[in-house]
Amino acid sequence: MSAVLLLGEMPPLFSPAWISANAPALLVVMSLLSGPVAVLLWRGRLAWAWAGLISLLAFALTLILYGQVLHQGVVSYAMGDWAPPLGIVYRIDALNMLALLLVAGMGLLSVVYGLPAVLREIEPKKQALFFAAFLLNLTGLFGVSITGDAFNVFVFLEIASISTYVLVAMGAGTDRRALTASFNYLVLGTIGATFFVIGIGLIYMATGTLNMADITAQLHGRGDDRVVRAAFAFIVIGLGLKMAMFPLHTWLPNAYTYSPSMAGTFLASTGTKVAFYALVRFIFGVFIPGSAFDSVIFDLVLAPMAIAGMIICSVQALFQNNIRKLLAYSSVAQLGYMLMGLSMGTAAGLSAGLLHMFNHALMKGALFMGAGIFALSYGVRRIHDLRGMGQLMPLTAAAFSVAGLSLVGAPLFAGFVSKYYLVMAALERGWWWAAAAVILSSVLAIFYVGRMLEAMYLRKPAEIDGAPLKPRPAPMLALVPLLILAAANIYFFFDASLPKGLADAAAAALLGGGAS
């Protein structure tokens, strides 16, 4: 954890001793039990206030865990005092911490942002149910990020997935295509879950344990094993579907496009990132890095899929007229960057991929927030309808532009930092073609982001009955989280020590000998 300790001697946050001691369990249990309470509250505003309170407490617990990880390196919490590997253990290290900070931070910002859109887009009788599904989704993502038990990863993935299907389907109040998008996601998500749980079953058959650290210990010195090889393949495919890895991404564009604004914002910034975290955890923290079939998977499967996703989905984004669908295809392309970092199989590459995971959550969260505010204020959903938004909503347009430039990888924005480290890691590995693919994909991003910026700043506002549209203030609850994310996209260019320190520590631990 030396790389993380470079961040400074952060003192533990003040909290009662029992909260600090039980923070890992409280993070998951609190979120899980709060979902049914949101349903009982019934009224949308009350359920929103409850979801906001829980999200704030979850973020505070995450900061407590961050302080503990800085000082201890690894935090282990045995559920029910059953010692591992017999009992379930929650285990937090640098890799988990990066995912937990991302989920907790974006969860809090999304729920603050979401009230105006939820009141507009969802029927009053369903609003409390929406926030209940959000809290259950938060539970699933926290659980995947924190557990040290392989089967628990499957359980929490399904909690997150099932609640996601509900969140997406609730967009039907605005567009009935949300129902089809949710159903397609359900079908493909179920296939992914089936592949994943088969892989977990094969691991259990080969090792007799479900504790991740114990699985790694059992696999050391085992040599090539067909059962383990099959488990590896099933898990990679299952998690690949969950993270929308190209070409397993077909569920994602419509799910992001037709879901409610708050749901799209939260899912775009967290869901696929947590699945990517799980893929990293299993490939480098459960299986043995450097195995023969690992190398084949990296060089002949994952790297080509990463490049194909980066280029093909960037081209697809160029031809989209719907703003959110453009951003959705862009998300698949950006996942290609992360996958490329993983497939390099080096500490520098993995660290760069993890850093881009963090930065992409910031930029894509801000872009979806901005798109939601435009839709809420003026009904803007197509790129053509963005014309004049730079004059009509200058703050929203400025924040949207910052996130778009970060997505491109322009200097002075966070996206530049992670893309720079990806290119350097690729050149260090001798993969000049991967560095070229990153640059080409970024050039394509200039064109599709440029289309939106050109409409906002170089075209006149639309007219109604011959009179131009009048400026309308953005809802303050929606605007503040957007501005925070825009500021973060700038701040983490100048000081990326927090995510880069965690990413470096995670990569060094994972590639230094099994579980971190």
Per residue in 360-408, pLDDT (tens digit) is 999 999 999 999 999 888 888 899 888 888 888 899 999 999 999 999 9
What tens digit of pLDDT does each residue of 111-168 get?
Answer: 999 999 999 888 888 999 999 999 999 999 999 999 989 999 999 999 999 999 999 9
Confidence of residue 334 (pLDDT cuts 50, 70, 90): very high
pLDDT at 8 over 70: no
How high is the pLDDT of residue 465? 55
Q: Please report, for residues 12, 242, 447, the alpha-carbon distance to residue 237 in angstroms, rounded to integers and kept in the order given.
A: 40, 9, 32
Give me the mean pLDDT over the 452-473 stretch: 77
Q: How far does the chain reach from its first CA to its final CA, in angstroms?
A: 10
The pLDDT assigned to 15 comes to: 60
List CB contacts of 138: < 8 A, sequence separation 6 or more. Answer: 31, 54, 55, 58, 103, 107
The CA distance from 482 to 362, in Å, is 10
Domain count, the chain: 1
In which residue are the tokens 């599709």 written? 448
- Give the number of residues written for the chain: 516
* Residue range(s) defining the domain that contains residue 492: 2-510
Give pLDDT, residue 88.
86
Residue 516 falls inside a structural domain: no
Query: What's residue 208's pLDDT?
Result: 85
Give the list of residues 6+ apart from residue 223 with CB closer than 8 angstroms, or none: none
pLDDT of residue 133: 94
SS3 431: coil
**How does pLDDT run across 64-82, given as a tens digit for each residue?**
999 888 888 888 888 877 7
Closest CA to 413 of 359, 375, 372, 464: 359
Mean pLDDT, residues 182-201 taken together: 93
Give residue 468's pLDDT: 65
- Which residue would you say has higher pLDDT here, 462 or 374? 374
The long-range contacts involving 385-390, CB below 8 angstroms and separated by at least 24 positions, are 385/462, 386/323, 386/452, 386/455, 386/456, 387/455, 387/456, 387/459, 387/460, 387/461, 387/462, 388/456, 388/459, 388/460, 388/461, 388/462, 388/468, 388/469, 389/455, 389/456, 389/461, 390/456, 390/457
pLDDT of residue 514: 40
Consecutive H or E run containing 90? strand 89-92
Nearest residue to 101 (alpha-carbon basis) of 402, 362, 388, 275: 362
Q: Is pLDDT at 46 greater than 80 in this prediction? A: yes
Per-residue confidence band for 298, with pLDDT thresholds at 50, 70 and 90: confident
Q: Bridge-partner residues for 92, per DSSP?
A: 75
Residue 322 domain flag: yes
In a domain, 475, yes or no: yes
Looking at the chain, the whole-number percentage of residues with pLDDT higher than 70 is 93
Whether 452 is in a domain gets the answer yes
Instruction: Give the separation between CA 247 and CA 320, rounded to whole angstroms.
Output: 18
pLDDT band for position 5 (50/70/90)?
very low
Closest CA to 347 of 283, 258, 425: 425
Residue 379 lies in a domain: yes
pLDDT of res. 291: 57
Token pair 């009955």 is found at: 465
Angle of the 124-146 helix axis to the 94-121 helix axis, nearest 10: 170
For 122, list phi and psi in degrees, rounded to 5.
Answer: -120, 140
In this structure, what token pair is assigned to residue 326? 């453009």
Share of the chain above pLDDT 90, in %: 61
Q: pLDDT higher for 300 or 351?
A: 351
pLDDT value of residue 292: 53
Domain presence at residue 53: yes
- Whether 16 is covered by a domain: the verdict is yes
Q: Which residues of 483-505 are buried (b: 16+ CB within 10 A; e: fewer)?
A: bbbbebbeebbeebebbbbbbbb
Region 473-502: what's the mean pLDDT? 92
Specify if 32 maps to a domain: yes
Can you state the angle between helices 414-429 and 432-458, rounded to 10 degrees?
A: 160
- Assess whether pLDDT exceeds 60 at residue 513: no
Assign 222 to helix, strand or coil. coil
Give me the DSSP letters along 287-355: S-TT-HHHHHIIIIIIHHHHHHHHHHHHHHHHT--BHHHHHHHHHHHHHHHHHHHHHT-SHHHHHHHHH
Q: Express each pLDDT in 211-243 by its tens digit.
A: 888 888 888 766 677 888 888 889 999 999 999
Picking from 5-19, 53-67, 107-121, which range would have the lowest pLDDT averaged per residue? 5-19
